[in-house]
Structure 1
Amino acid sequence: MTPLEVQQLRDATPGCQSGIVHFNHAGASLPSQATLDAIIDQLQREARDGPMEAGEQGALLLEKARRAAGQLLNAPAASIAFASSGSTAWSMAFQALGPWQPGERILVGRHEWGGNLASMELAVQAGARVEVIPCDETGAACPVALASMIDSNVKLIDLTWLPANGGLINPAQAIGEVARRHGIPYFIDAGQAVGQLPVDVQALHCDVLKAAGRKHLRGPRGTALLYVRPDFLERLNPAQRDVFSAPWTAAGFDLRNDARRFETSEVSFALLAGLGNALQEMNRLGIERVWERVEQTSARIREALCQMPRISLHDLGSARSGLIAFNLAGWDAFELKRSLGLKRINIGANSVAYTPLDMQARGLTSVARISVSPLNTDQEIELLMDALRELRD
């Protein structure tokens, strides 16, 4: 991306005009004015024409968003469902895979998102076991070790592709090749991947993939994507149904034969209009170019942090994402986040609950987290480093 293109992105983003430096894109990124306009336009349509009457236009915008999501993921539009959050989307798919039986096994990466592990408790209560895939020498989930764990009791392989607590990029495609070779369902939590780096669900060999709209896609909060491989759909029996996900037929209520079996009749068309705009913007910009910019920006930040005394980085893996986990000696991560916020610089902070298996394995109680976007500039990096030096001294 050229400097002019970056400036054009920033000019179209109200948050970049606020005087706040935003390095918390992994928490929630900054929407464009066009995304805000899409939300407001639908709300005004509902206020003017009636909320139900404006639903017809809202439904058209929803389907436009579905096609844009399919384009971004290299997936059929019919394989995309929308949900209110990534955790909701993942939990619905997981619960639909049941019922669970004693002795069944769920294999997860050590970096699994805490919300997914919480959902797995229902399976554990039924007698299933959650087991951790060993890491390789870089700290990433190891496909070779995974292959040695496979037996007839393995019912699910689940991977958090880019963990919330650092820059690791797990080998999602290699894990998927093991799952596909053995015919085992494979779920990917791509909450930090979609919108940051290229995602091709065909190449990943995944059966289910989820992502939140508010993170690197720059969509509104309260939106999420759920991809379900079409040939896998019949193996999922959602517990939550209504007249939309299971419409009435001559034979009674019947589940839809596409991913909309995970949707309900009551949705926020306004939020999904905003998400649709954000997805279209990402497709126009080009995810490969976004990823190149993220790699360049995060590399500069890592280099600057490495040169700063009393900073410890917590990167794992051989490839690094735009999430940079670190600690400043003598500072609690959440207090550091608060103090930087007072300087009008936003970063994130994670506790053990976010990634409990990995944090406990590494003896980490909390980490501060910088996460970047194509919106970030060299000047913002300098402001961040100056602020960290002031707090360090």
Structure 2
Amino acid sequence: MIDIDNVRADTPACESVLHFDNAGASLMPDPVWQAMQWVLKDERAFGGYEAERRAADDLAAFYTEFAALLNADPTEIAYVENATRAWDMAFYGLDLKPGDRVITHGSEYASNYLAMLHQARRRGFHIDVAPSDASGQIDVAALEDMITPATKLIAITHVPTQGGLVNPAAAVGAVARRHGVLYLLDACQSVGQIDPDVQAIGCDILSGTGRKYLRGPRGTGFLYVRQSVLDRIDPPFIDLHAATWTGPDSYELAPGARRFETWESNIAGRVGLMTAVRYAQSIGLPAIEARVANLATKLRDALSVTDDVSVHDQGVTRCGLVTFRKDGLEATDIADRLRDRGINISVSTLPYARLDLAPRGLHSLARASVHYFNTEDEIERFAGAVAML
């Protein structure tokens, strides 16, 4: 096991830069970088096919490592090139018809909601937006009251890109199971900072990325699809990896979730993501979750006592994403000025969270995200830098 207090040893030297945008661009641990380099060296020396053959054990371990991480079966795991495409492969494969209803929440990620609008225009189904409770998270009781025989899907984001909240995913899962409704969970911002368990959550489909809290390479993602619902999703496109051409006019889909994959993929990226999962497991997701939550609380406290700064996080349970504003400055100005001081943060703006920010009277929020490799000293330095703006 890796001691969580010593992970800086596996993090690139960056003493001149404070990284608080790691939810969007997390620092890659040395073991992940090294694993990718080995594959790329083989590609350079032997070519892509031989490099893939040499990486066969690590490529196979991708499925077992993710299965262990999510408490799933390896046959329920697929590698997909990014989180959006993983979510799309499942959603666009659903047989939604005119008159069907899909329930989501105002915190849903913009790309997902756009896809819902896209398919609603094509298929004729209706989108219902569940209200928030007093804390800002999805109102589970109201969600249950919205379900009708026409409701075919509940699709929410576990950790929205703005607001710092953790939606009560397991409570939503219990509602979905009681009513026999498919449940699609976007875990892009949560897997890697929150201990995930698809059995406890009760989701049928879960999508995510490698580049955020898992600290894997960009351009990598994953998809979990419960075995019992596989045949209810028709992949929106297939190739010779996703299916077998059994006759001139016939084919069979690949068994398990690999029917959502494509033959051509980034081998170094797949090995890198597998290594990132293995690295996170070696630390322990419960330890990571506790560390991130503790640092985020300290950051909220430090910002809350800073003059002219207001924290805008919501939810009963909060995560490593901390959103705030400073009087007289736009969020983009805050990010630009902090970057000039060697501090990286992100910004959540209205186009990315229209259903959430607009009702709160907000146009944008600065977002500072902590990870387990951040320190309390860095939090103090960050709050001091914000105060000086």
- Pairwise TM-score range, normalised by the shorter structure: over 0.9
- CA contact 2:4–2:288 (8 Å) conserved in 1: no
Partner of 2:130: 133
Is residue 75 of structure 2 the alignment partner of residue 90 of structure 1? no
Of 316, 324, 348, 2:346 maps to 348
Aligned residue for 1:277, secondary structure, equals helix
Query: Closer, same or farther in 2 for the Cα pair 1:206/1:6, shift >3 Å?
Result: closer
Report how far residue 7 of structure 1 moved. 5.2
Partner of 1:363: 361
- CA contact 2:302–2:380 (8 Å) conserved in 1: no
How far, CA to CA, are the matches of 1:215 and 1:110 in structure 2? 22
Is residue 107 of structure 2 the alignment partner of residue 111 of structure 1? yes
Partner of 2:251: 253
Aligned residue for 1:162, secondary structure, equals coil
- CA contact 1:11–1:17 (8 Å) conserved in 2: no
User: Per-residue displacement from partner, 1:313-350 (whole Å, max 9, x unpaired)?
Assistant: 11111111111111111111011111101111111111
Is residue 232 of structure 2 the alignment partner of residue 235 of structure 1? yes
Gaps spanning 5+ residues in structure 1: where? Answer: none
How far, CA to CA, are the matches of 1:287 and 1:147 in structure 2? 30
Partner of 2:376: 378
The 5 Å alignment of 1:254-273 reads 254-273=252-271
How far, CA to CA, are the matches of 1:166 and 1:118 in structure 2? 20
- CA contact 1:246–1:255 (8 Å) conserved in 2: yes
Report how far residue 18 of structure 1 moved. 4.6
How far, CA to CA, are the matches of 1:121 and 1:287 in structure 2? 35
Counterpart code for 2:60: E
How many residue pairs get aligned? The number is 387
How far, CA to CA, are the matches of 2:69 and 2:125 in structure 1? 35
Partner of 2:331: 333
How far, CA to CA, are the matches of 2:144 and 2:117 in structure 1? 24
Report how far residue 265 of structure 1 moved. 0.5
Report how far residue 28 of structure 1 moved. 1.6
Partner of 2:215: 218
Percent sequence identity over aligned pairs: 39
User: Per-residue displacement from partner, 1:229-272 (whole Å, max 9, x unpaired)?
Assistant: 01110101012100000123368421112000010110011011
Report how far residue 6 of structure 1 moved. 4.5
Is residue 197 of structure 2 the alignment partner of residue 200 of structure 1? yes
How far, CA to CA, are the matches of 1:213 and 1:190 in structure 2? 11
Aligned residue for 1:108, secondary structure, equals strand
Report how far residue 101 of structure 1 moved. 2.1
Of 67, 72, 78, 1:70 maps to 67
Report how far residue 368 of structure 1 moved. 0.2
Counterpart code for 1:93: A
Aligned residue for 1:294, secondary structure, equals helix
How far, CA to CA, are the matches of 2:387 and 2:312 in structure 1? 19
Partner of 2:140: 143
Normalising by structure 2, report the TM-score: 0.96
Partner of 1:244: 241
- CA contact 2:227–2:256 (8 Å) conserved in 1: yes
How far, CA to CA, are the matches of 1:227 and 1:35 in structure 2? 22
Partner of 1:164: 161
Aligned residue for 2:49, secondary structure, equals coil
Counterpart code for 2:219: G
How far, CA to CA, are the matches of 1:121 and 1:55 in structure 2? 39
How far, CA to CA, are the matches of 1:60 and 1:130 in structure 2? 43
Kindly report the root-mean-square deviation, in angstroms, between the aligned alpha carbons of the 2 structures: 1.5
User: Per-residue displacement from partner, 1:167-188 (whole Å, max 9, x unpaired)?
Assistant: 1111111111111111111000
Gaps spanning 5+ residues in structure 2: where? Answer: none
How far, CA to CA, are the matches of 1:57 and 1:207 in structure 2? 34
Report how far residue 362 of structure 1 moved. 1.0
Of 6, 9, 24, 2:7 maps to 9
Partner of 1:80: 77
Is residue 19 of structure 2 the alignment partner of residue 25 of structure 1? no
Please list every run of at least 4 consecutive aligned residues from structure 1 whose deviation after the TM superposition is greater than 3 angstroms.
4-7, 249-252
Partner of 1:152: 149
How far, CA to CA, are the matches of 2:159 and 2:252 in structure 1? 36
